[in-house]
Amino acid sequence: MLTAMALTATLGAAFVHVEPTPPADLPVAVYQERRARLMSALGGCIAVISAQGEASGITEDYRQDADFYWLTGINEPQAHLVLQPRSVYRKVVLYLKPRDPEAERWTGPRAPISPELNARYGVDHVLRGTPEGALQSGGLHHDCVAIISPPSMAKTERSDDELALRLANRFGLKVLYKRGLLAALRSAHSAEELARMERAIAITAEGHNVIARATVAGVSERDVQTQLEYSFFANGGTGLAYSSIVGSGPNGAVLHWDQNTRILQDGDLVVVDAAAEYGRYAADVTRTYPVSGHFTADQARVYRAVCQAQDDILAAIRPGVSMADLQRVAEDSLRRSGYLENFIHGFGHFVGLDVHDAGDYDAPLPVGAVFTVEPGVYLPAAGFGVRIEDEVVTTDHGYRLLTAAIPRRLEEVEAWVARERAAAIH
């Protein structure tokens, strides 16, 4: 019978131990600089934005919405941020939900209001409750109010919009709608943000190395998923950027296949769209794997067309180009190859705090924008689909391919699969 020490040693040798220390919080100065940029764009108007996150699970795990998180770094419900550019001493006021000693026995103690709490969040003042009082006071010293909530949410769906409009009505303030302002600011990422996204991509690359050797005949899509996700966490991922998609054979022709139930068969292609999150920042990568280790002639024809579309999009990334421009490039490329009607989605999307992040698809891409390049062709009648998804960051001269370490060309993928499977055997 194994002793406890021997059992621990035996089991411990079988696992890569997850590093339990989360990534360090971004410095408070990062959030102060973001808020300062936002305030400078308000035209002297007062503004309020409220937390819009969601709780899930029996422990009510809370995930803050990306706009509020980008401005504060706070992952807490019922919080409000008031910006008063014309105030002398209280330009930035943060409201947190009231303390509840009984609730805190379940969720843990929360810090009391203090000068130290002001410093922790880098704001002029922290209060508890709702921002009615600050807005009424601010209404005396401002002649306009800015609505900065994102355009995807109607005014009637947000308490902060309602507060701002009541303020405008009471004091006769002008209402300026600046709903695209946060998206424009957030789409140009700082060095600190890029570092987290590149770490998420490096973790994701390790997971796809596992998949290169795991997508063999006889295993299930769920087997592939569990090996992939274990690798993400074992390599320091702090979460999944989104639910993992593993579509083999005909399931690969379903864009967001999520059942992951089929057994992989020889001759299948397997579309794996899965990525890690690190410190709240997402990655997004898709690769298409041949179960046999090689693409058939028909599969190779489609794969090369998708890869060519990706190359054409990448070649078109330059200063002044927009996401809408690049969509046209993707469509033109797949039209030339004869697969346009089988390209059923956009060529890409912005990535950041959310896997589908904020950004203006019609405006020129700013330096520091991170987005995916993911053309795909889906052929249900042929029993397969192909998608290749990479991430780029725009630079002052073009772009940098953030996912360059993950093989994407056909010959590279076949060699990668062979190499990883040979290593697994030995």
Residue 43 sits in the same domain as residue 95? yes
pLDDT score for 15: 57
Count of CB atoms situated within 10 Å of the CB of 119: 11
Q: Give the number of domains in the chain.
A: 2
Q: Is the pLDDT of residue 190 over 60?
A: yes
Packing angle of the helix pair 297-316, 323-337 (nearest 10 deg): 150
Predicted confidence at residue 18, as pLDDT, reads 61
For residues 391 and 247, membership in a common domain is answered with yes
Query: Do 279 and 234 have their domain in common?
Result: yes
Pair 79, 104 in one domain? yes
Looking at the DSSP assignment, which residues form a beta bridge with residue 220? 263
Whether residue 321 lies inside any domain: the answer is: yes
Same domain, 146 and 210: no
For residue 19, the model assigns a pLDDT of 59
For every residue of 180-197, DSSP letters joined together read THHHHHHTS--HHHHHHH
Cα separation, 97 vs 113, whole angstroms:
11
Do 152 and 214 share a domain, yes or no?
no
Q: Does the residue 253 lie in any domain?
A: yes
* Stated pTM of the model: 0.93
Q: Between the CA atoms of 66, 71, 72 and 73, what dihedral angle is there, to the nearest 10 degrees?
A: 50
Whether residue 125 has pLDDT greater than 50: yes
Is residue 16 situated within a structural domain?
no
Question: How does pLDDT run across 28-64, given as a tens digit for each residue?
Answer: 999 999 999 999 999 999 999 999 988 877 767 899 9
Give the residues across from 202 on adjacent strands: none
Average pLDDT (354-368) is 97
Question: What integer is the mean pLDDT of 218-224?
Answer: 97
For residues 389-413, give the mean pLDDT: 98
180 and 217 in a single domain? The answer is no
Instruction: With a cut of 60, say whether residue 214 has pLDDT above it.
Output: yes
**Domain end marker among 132, 165, 186:** 186
d(CA 377, CA 334): 9
15 domain-assigned: no
List all residues 6 or more positions away from 298 whose beta carbon is below 8 Å from its beta carbon: 382
- For residue 152, pLDDT over 70 is answered with yes
Please say if the pLDDT value at position 279 is more than 90: yes
Tell me the pLDDT band of 105, cut-offs 50, 70 and 90.
confident
Question: Quick check: 283 and 275 in contact, CB under 8 A?
Answer: yes
Reported as half-sphere exposure (CB side, CA atoms, 13 A), residue 372 has a value of: 28
Domain finish residue from 137, 159, 186: 186
pLDDT digits (tens, 9 = 90+) for 65-85: 999 999 999 999 999 999 999
Q: What is the CATH number of the domain that holds 339?
A: 3.90.230.10
Banded pLDDT at 106 (limits 50, 70, 90) = confident
| 295 and 201, same domain (yes or no) | yes
Q: Which domain holds residue 345?
A: 191-425
Answer yes or no: is 223 within a domain: yes
How many C-beta neighbours within 10 Å does residue 89 have? 7
DSSP string, 277-326: EETTEE---EEEEETTSS--HHHHHHHHHHHHHHHHHHHH--TT-BHHHH
Residue 329 phi/psi, 5-degree rounding, is -60, -45
Percent of the chain with pLDDT over 90: 83
Same structural domain, 310 and 339: yes
Backbone angles phi, psi at 198, to 5 degrees: -70, -35
Q: For residue 10, tell me if it sits in a domain.
A: no
Q: What is the mean pLDDT of the chain?
A: 92
Structural contact between residues 376 and 343, judged by C-beta atoms closer than 8 angstroms? yes
Mean pLDDT of 302-307: 98
pLDDT of residue 7: 40
In this structure, is residue 21 part of a structural domain?
no
Q: Is residue 12 part of a domain?
A: no
- Examine the domain organization and report whether 280 and 359 are in the same domain: yes
